[in-house]
Amino acid sequence: MATKSPIDDPRIDPRTGEYAVIAPGHTFRSVTQKIAGLVLTSNTPLGWFGGLTVAGGIATLLVVAMTWLFLKGVGIWGVTIPGAWGFAIINFVWWIGIGHAGTLISAILLLFKQTWRNSINRFAEAMTIFAVVCAGTFPLIHLGRPWLGYWLFPYPNTMNIWPQFRSPLAWDVFAVSTYAAISVVFWYIGMVPDFGTLRDRAVMPFAKYSYGMLSMGWRGSTRHWVRYESAALLLAGLATPLVLSVHTVISFDFAVAAMAGWHTTIFPPYFVAGAIYSGFAMVLTLAIPIRKFYHLEDLITLRHLDNMAKVMLATGCIVGYGYMMEVFMAWYSASHWEFFMMWNRMFGPMGWAYWTLILTNLAIPLTTLWSRKLRVNVVYLFVLSLIVNTGMWLERFVIVVTSLYREYLPSSWGTYRATKWDYMTFVGTWGLFTFLFLLFVRFLPIIPISEIRMMLPQSKIRPGGADAETVVEETL
C-alpha cells in the first residue's frame, strides 16, 4: 500500500525538509527591516493613537474605581457573607490564567523544539506580564488596607510578626511574585539581542540612546550567544514547572478550603488546563488583529493559528474532562453537600451561568475546532477566542460564587450581586491591559528578530547544502 510521501506535502520546505513556518522569499535583512521598522518608523499609525486613547479612557475607570475603593473600603463591592469572595478573586484567577499561555509558548514549546513558536512568543510573553499586572491588582486592592500590602512578605519588622506559611494565601504571594519576576526577566533577556538590532538601526538619537542602554552593549559575540542560549534554555526549563505550579497554588486557595465544590483533588490539573485554554484564546485574540494591522501574515502564518487552535482543542478537552469529573465525583462521593452543590450549580438560581459556561467553553469550541477549515478561518477563530475567554471567566464565576452563596447552613444562604464598582474595576483592567499592550507594540520588537532569522533556511549550515560543502569537507 502506497503511503503519501512527506516530500509531496506542499507545506514542506524542500531545502530543509522541515515544515516551513515563514513565507518563502525572506532574507535576514528583510525580516529585520520588517520587524524593526514597526518600532523605528517615524509615522505612527493614527489607529494606534485612537486605540491608545480608547484603552486609556477605559483604564481611567480602573483608577476611578480604585480611588473610590481606597476612600470607602471594600464595602462598595458586592462581597458580603456568605459570598465573601467575588469579582476580585474571579478576575485574579482569570487574568493569571490568561498569562499562562505566554509562558507555555515561550518555555514549554521551546523545550519541545517547536520552532513555529518563535513568531508569537514575544508578544505572548508580553501578554503574560500585562496579565500578571492586571491579576496582581486584584488581591492587592482586596486587602482592605492595600498600603500595608508589604506585610505579606517575610521581612524583619519591629512588630515581630511573620507570615503564616501553612496558609495557601501565603503560598500565593510566593508563587505569583516569583512568576512575575521570572516572566519579566525571561522577556527582557529575550529582547536583549533585538535591542542591539534596534540600537544599530535607530536614526533618532533618543531612540539610539534608549535601545543602546536596553541592549546593554550586545554585540552578537559567539561566546555570548553560547551563554545566552544556555541561560534561555535554563530559564525555559525553570519557567515550565513554575507555570504549572502557579495555577496549582492558586487552585489550592480553593482546594484546601473545606467547602463543597472546592475541596477536590482534581483542581490543580484542571485549573492549569483551563489557564492554558483561556491563555491560548487570548493569544489568538491579540495575534489576529496584530497580524492584520501590521501586515505580519508572512511571519504569523495560518499554520500558527492552526497550531494554537489545536492546543486549544486539546486543553479544552482536558477542561471538559474536569467538568465531567466534578459532576461524577459529586455523585460518587455520596456526600450530601457535594450533591447539593452540583444540583444547585446546575439548576439553582445561578444555573444560567453554568449552562452558558458549558455552551461557551465546551459546546461551541469542542465541536467546531476539529475542522481544519474552521481552524484556519481567521474571523471564526477570533470570534471563538472571545467566546472561550467569556467561558473561562464564567468558569471561575461558577466555582467561586455557586459554592459560597448556598453553603452548609441554609439559614446563612444568600446571593451574590456585583456592584457597578466591581464591573468598573474589571472593565478597567481590560483598558489597562490593552493600554500596556499598545505601548508594547509601538516601542518594543513584537516578534523576536534573532529567532526569526534562525528560522530562515539560509541560516543553517548543513551537509549537502551547496554553500556548505567546502566547510564540511575541510572541517570534519
Partner 1 sequence: MTPREGIYGLLAEFNTPAELVRATEKAHQAGFRRMECYTPYPVEEAAVALRFHKTSVPLVCLLGGIMGMLTAFLMETWITVWSYPMNIAGRPLFSWPAFIIPAYEWTILFAGLSAAFGMLALNGLPQLYHPLFNAPNFRDGASTDKFFLCLEATDPRFSILDTRAFLEQFAPVSVVEVEL
Which CB sits closer to partner 1, 13 or 67? Answer: 13
Give the list of residues 6+ apart from residue 467 with CB closer than 8 angstroms, or none: 461
Residues linked to residue 19 through DSSP beta bridges, in sequence order: 12
**At 12, phi and psi to the nearest 5?**
-90, 135
Contact characters 454-473, partner 1, x per CB under 8 A: x---xx-x---x-xx-xx--
Which CB sits closer to partner 1, 224 or 310? Answer: 224
Query: What is the smallest separation between the CB atom of 177 and partner 1, expressed in angstroms?
Result: 8
- Nearest Cα to 142, choosing from 178, 92, 181, 183? 92
Does residue 166 bind partner 1 (CB under 8 A)? yes
Residues in the chain: 476
Question: Considering only residues 44, 221, 371, 415, which one is a binding residue for partner 1 as defined by CB under 8 A?
Answer: 221
Query: CA-CA distance, 399 to 421, in Å (whole number)?
Result: 21
Query: What is the smallest separation between the CB atom of 288 and partner 1, expressed in angstroms?
Result: 27
Which CB sits closer to partner 1, 175 or 282? Answer: 175
Does residue 219 bind partner 1 (CB under 8 A)? yes
Question: Considering only residues 45, 75, 144, 220, which one is a binding residue for partner 1 as defined by CB under 8 A?
Answer: 220
Burial of 408 (0-12, 13-18, 19+ CB in 10 A): middle
Are 442 and 48 in contact by the 8 Å Cβ rule? The answer is yes
Binding range to partner 1, per CB under 8 A, among 54-62, 141-149, 155-163, 437-445: 155-163
The footprint of partner 1 on residues 125-154 (CB under 8 A) is: 154
Which CB sits closer to partner 1, 234 or 327? Answer: 234
The footprint of partner 1 on residues 222-261 (CB under 8 A) is: 222-231, 234-235, 238-239, 241-242, 245, 249, 252
Which CB sits closer to partner 1, 410 or 464? Answer: 464
Query: CA-CA distance, 288 to 355, in Å (whole number)?
Result: 28
- Nearest Cα to 312, choosing from 278, 349, 286? 278
DSSP 12: B
Residues linked to residue 12 through DSSP beta bridges, in sequence order: 19
- Name the 3-class secondary structure at 173: helix
- Nearest Cα to 123, choosing from 308, 247, 249? 308
Query: What is the smallest separation between the CB atom of 33 and partner 1, expressed in angstroms?
Result: 8
Which CB sits closer to partner 1, 54 or 192? Answer: 192
Query: CA-CA distance, 215 to 238, in Å (whole number)?
Result: 24
**At 72, phi and psi to the nearest 5?**
-100, -30
Which CB sits closer to partner 1, 8 or 473? Answer: 473
Query: CA-CA distance, 381 to 400, in Å (whole number)?
Result: 28
DSSP 395: H
The footprint of partner 1 on residues 177-216 (CB under 8 A) is: 177-178, 181-182, 185-186, 189, 192-193, 196-197, 199-201, 212-213, 216
Which CB sits closer to partner 1, 218 or 280? Answer: 218
Alpha-carbon distances of 268 from 227, 252, 276, 311, rounded to whole Å: 35, 7, 13, 19
Which CB sits closer to partner 1, 224 or 303? Answer: 224
Query: What is the smallest separation between the CB atom of 19 and partner 1, expressed in angstroms?
Result: 20
Query: What is the smallest separation between the CB atom of 16 and partner 1, expressed in angstroms?
Result: 14
Does residue 409 bind partner 1 (CB under 8 A)? no
Does residue 274 bind partner 1 (CB under 8 A)? no
The footprint of partner 1 on residues 17-56 (CB under 8 A) is: 27-29, 32
